[in-house]
Amino acid sequence: MHKTLMRSALFVPASRPDRFPKAVASGADAVIIDLEDSVAPGAKSAGRDALANYAEAHPDEPLWVRINDGTTPWFEDDLAVCRSLPSVAGIVLPKAQTADHVYIVSGAGKPLMPAIESASGLRVMDRIAAANGVVRLTFGILDIMVEFGSRPHTEGAGRVLDQVRFQILQASRMHGLADPLDTIFADFSDAAGLTQSAELARDMGFGGMLCIHPSQVPVVHQVYRPLPEELDWARRVVDHADGTGEYAFRLDGRMVDLALIERARRVLERAA
């Protein structure tokens, strides 16, 4: 199973190839060339060409690509260009709401990250998560909010958002997927708000976050970096478990069992 840690995934419009180098230089764990919402209908073909030209000129730079969803006229062409480019490291399928579309995309032979963005997608998420080639889930809260009629930036919308997060986490764990990515934080000028949102998702169990601006990447990385005291605890737990073979013991006056040992290993993995 593809378990690569991914704290940040930065979108960059395919229609703006001048921004590709800056996105790559941002330090994001994944750069997602976006052929979908950020590209106007009349610019889709030019966006694919820009992606192909950059990928061919930089074959050692792994790129993810967000294609257009399976109900659009650009779906097949987007999929074809991803299939043809060895440096395309993975595909983001937006508005994933049928397992059939996921199966089609998985035929490209690339790791796949479906984005759940509708009530229909939530209803069949278990089938989507189980599909061949799916390595990780994410979601698009803006589309879900519009469909549900939720009022943005309210307590009610936050409760809906947390319900969606729980379902994403549950499906990810049930099917052994990599830690899911939280949705975007739209106001890239609000570092404090981004930090608060990222901390909430981190504490819930998410592995990282979708980003829409390079300035968000270091903030997200800082949030997902284990604290020194957390690292110290994790090292001592793992050292004791591996050194003694014990899977139930006391440390700092508290009981440690197999579940906490696994948590400690995850902390060390993330720190690495």
Q: What is the pLDDT of residues 120-163, one digit of tens each?
A: 999 999 999 999 999 999 999 999 999 999 998 899 999 999 99
- pLDDT over 80 (residue 272): no
pLDDT of residue 5: 83
Distance between CA 7 and CA 26 in Å, rounded?
13
pLDDT 10s digits, 50-69 = 999 999 999 999 999 999 99
- pLDDT over 90 (residue 15): yes
pLDDT of residue 3: 58
Do residues 127 and 116 lie in contact, with contact meaning Cβ atoms separated by under 8 Å? no
Residue 94 CB partners (closer than 8 Å, separation 6+): 36, 37, 66, 67, 68, 69, 115, 117, 140
What distance lies between CA 129 and its chain's CA centroid? Answer: 13
Chain mean pLDDT for the chain: 94
pLDDT of residue 80: 96
Helices (H), ranges, the chain: 20-25, 44-57, 75-84, 99-106, 119-123, 125-130, 141-148, 155-174, 191-204, 216-224, 228-244, 258-271
Pick from 181, 161, 186: nearest CA to 37: 186
Pick from 122, 94, 80, 99: nearest CA to 32: 94
The mean pLDDT of 234-261, rounded to a whole number, is 93
Residue 134 identity (one-letter amino acid): V
| Structure token digits, residue 18 | 């001048």
Do residues 124 and 97 lie in contact, with contact meaning Cβ atoms separated by under 8 Å? yes
Homologous superfamily of 8-224: Phosphoenolpyruvate-binding domains (3.20.20.60)
- pLDDT over 70 (residue 1): no
pLDDT of residue 227: 82
pTM of full prediction above 0.85 = yes
- pLDDT over 70 (residue 2): no
| Structure token digits, residue 166 | 């729980």
Q: Where are the domains of the chain?
A: 8-224, 228-271
- pLDDT over 60 (residue 215): yes
Strand partners, 114: 93
The mean pLDDT of 172-191, rounded to a whole number, is 95
Distance between CA 251 and CA 234 in Å, rounded?
11
The mean pLDDT of 231-248, rounded to a whole number, is 93
